[in-house]
Amino acid sequence: MANILLLNASFEPLAVVKLSRAIGLLMDGKVEVIEAMPGRELRSAHLRQPMPSVLRLRYYVNVPRRGVGWSRRGVLARDHHTCQYCGKRLGSHEETVDHVIPQWHCRAHKIQPNTWGNTVASCPKCQQRKGGRSMHEAGMRFFNPNYEPKIPRTNYLIMASDIRPEWKRYIRI
């Protein structure tokens, strides 16, 4: 079963859609194919073409920024189950979520600790090293200096689904 990434006209990811929906959009002329799945063909009653993997709407849809609920699972998926401090790939028994600004500090300042921006996947060793301090106080850095936790521009459910290689350039994390 093929899942297809649907982009807004602005190239922002909008949703992951099923093939039947994608066919409907193609038949209505509402989308253009941006990336195809290598070696696969789409054959339906009215269409025969390379199997789309990424579609882009021909018109801009103004999407209200509805925040996707924070979840521990979502953070781990976003960070590819990789410790954001040392870069270690996390085994299932060592998946922890670290608060960049520690929870006690957030509570003291009435800041919500569990947000997409304040949480990263972390290994137990790095979490222990960081202790109850902020990343800065602990002298720690993200292993990927380009990593910038941010409020998601799009639905993190996309991140939690199987991401095809040709999607990656359109998904910002």
Cα distance between residue 16 and residue 32, in whole Å: 15
Cα distance between residue 127 and residue 131, in whole Å: 6
Cα distance between residue 2 and residue 18, in whole Å: 7
Burial class from Cβ neighbours inside 10 Å (0-12, 13-18, 19+) for residue 40 reads: exposed
Cα distance between residue 126 and residue 116, in whole Å: 19
CA 140 to chain centre: 24
Q: Check binding of 76 to Zn ion (CB under 5 A).
A: no
Q: Which of residues 111-140 bind Zn ion (CB under 5 A)?
A: 123, 126
Stretch that binds Zn ion, among 27-35, 38-46, 88-96, 163-171 (CB under 5 A): 88-96
Count of residues in contact with Zn ion, rule CB under 5 A: 6
Stretch that binds Zn ion, among 9-17, 18-26, 54-62, 81-89 (CB under 5 A): 81-89
4 versus 123: smaller Cβ distance to Zn ion: 123
Q: Check binding of 156 to Zn ion (CB under 5 A).
A: no
55 versus 123: smaller Cβ distance to Zn ion: 123
Residues at the interface with Zn ion (CB under 5 A): 83, 85-86, 88, 123, 126
